[in-house]
Structure 1
Amino acid sequence: MLLLMAMQPPAPAMAHPHIFIDCKAIAVFDASGLTGFQQTWIFDEMFSAGMLMEYDTNGDQQFNAAETAKYAQEIFSILKEYNYLTVLRVDGEEIHPHQARDFRPEVRNGQLIYHFFTPCVVPFASGTHNVAISVYDPEYYADMVLLDSAVSVEAPPGVQTAKSNVSAPELTYFGCIVPVFINLRFSAP
């Protein structure tokens, strides 16, 4: 029996999450249209504790300017290679953010929280637009949850918006976990 088991090809390893992240996003508009998304990621306690142990060098449960700079350079900057784990669909065209700005880590009740802005410029010109956002890890190392209720809008008066969930079965993990895009439909005031 052991010989038969040893002769079998190895089964593919299935990923499972090591990090759990609750995500929020605010669609930010100015007078000319959508400028991007202000994102907030709230990490689980285990990941948070590890990052604090490594990067909160003075042990005050916060990140000062020097600690933030080191963390941004060594940890947050890695997300650029993965488009900040954010996928945007602008009027049906998939866009991957190649930059983020205004990164600020925070610690609240022992949990690490990222705040950052991902630009996505969509002018009001030419009528109504559909912009969908999803935040997910295609490797499923991180379990990221972005709910419809976690997406809000900061827009000038008169901007018409509507939100809806759109599942993305083409991105399904292992046939059972389906990422969701939050679709934002908007038009000029």
Structure 2
Amino acid sequence: MIRLLLWLSWTISASALAHPHSFIDMKTEIVSQDSRLIGLKMTWTMDEITSSDVFYDAADAKPGSVTWKKLAAQVMANVLGQHYFTEMYRDGQRIKFENLPAQYHLYRNGLKATLMFVMPLAHPPLLAGSPIIFSTYDPTYFVDMTYQGPAAITLPSTVASRCTIALATPTPNVSLQAYALSLDKPGSPGVDMALGKQFAQRVTLQCH
């Protein structure tokens, strides 16, 4: 749990590990109501090494126990502290999320820990119109947060016929990848808060 809380709060120090240090497999469901985008339901599955920290603190606690609820609250509080690690825009204007999730849950998924949460929008925009673009990433690139493909982002059946989703994955050049690796070496400048955005995937939601 210590490693997980470290990256979530960005209190990160360089180590001998390769950059990034942890990996999260993401899935997102678009949440809509009355022709408006009202939120995103995200499911983050952590890699086995990061998950082992969570399982260590949970020990033999049963799902739904006070221990698991406390762990979920700790993790969610840190995610909230970074505005869900997510940015959303339309026409260059930022669309903000509510400060609290509509729901959240931390659970065991085999050897991995999974965090599910719903991020409601503060001012839900109409789905129809110019594209809505969002990205989820760790600015330091300490954690790689990735969709495995366009199928990882889904639409509700009520809007599937009039909305499309496109996933853009950047292809950083060799020099940028080498720079990311150099941040883990002794004498490096350390944390670069602009690095993650260059590796971040971009989701475009277009509805009519």
* The two structures share one fold, judged by TM-score above 0.5: yes
Cα displacement string for residues 157-177 of structure 1 (whole angstroms, at most 9, x for unaligned residues): 5751112234579x99x7246
Structure 2 residue 89 is the aligned partner of structure 1 residue 89? yes
Structure (1 or 2) with the greater strand fraction: 1
| Aligned position for 1:154 | 156
Question: Which 4+ stretches in 1 moved above 3 angstroms?
Answer: 95-99, 166-169
- What is the aligned-residue RMSD (CA, Å)? 2.7
Give the match for residue 103 of structure 2: 102
Q: 1:51 aligns with which of 54, 57, 72?
A: 54
Equivalences for 1:132-147 in 2 at 5 Å? 132-146=133-147, 147=149
Which residue of 167, 185, 189 corresponds with 2:206? 185
CA displacement, residues 75-107 of structure 1 (integer Å, 9 cap, x when unaligned)? 220111211111112333233534323111121
TM-score by length of 2: 0.70
Asked if 1:19 is matched to 2:40, the reply is: no
- The change in CA–CA distance for 1:159 and 1:30 in structure 2 (over 3 A counts) is farther
Give the TM-score normalised by the residue count of structure 1: 0.76
Q: Which has the higher helix share?
A: 2
Larger Rg: 1
CA distance in 2, matches of 1:131, 1:156: 18
In structure 2, C-alpha distance between the alignment counterparts of 1:157 and 1:70, rounded to whole Å: 36
Higher mean alpha-carbon deviation, 27-36 vs 95-104, is at 95-104
State the distance in 2 between where 1:178 and 1:158 align: 28
Quote how far apart the aligned CAs of 1:46 are.
0.9
Match of 1:29 among 23, 27, 32: 32
Is there any run of 5+ residues in structure 2 with no aligned partner, and where?
A: 1-13, 178-197
Give runs of aligned pairs for residues 96-135 of structure 1, distance below 5 A.
Answer: 96-97=96-97, 98-120=99-121, 121-124=124-127, 127-135=128-136
Q: Deviations over 1:124-183 (max 9, x none)?
A: 4xx4231122111001111110232211101425751112234579x99x7246311110
Instruction: Letter of the 1:37 partner, please give it.
Output: L
Whole-Å Cα distance in 1 between the matches of residues 166 and 176 of structure 2?
A: 23
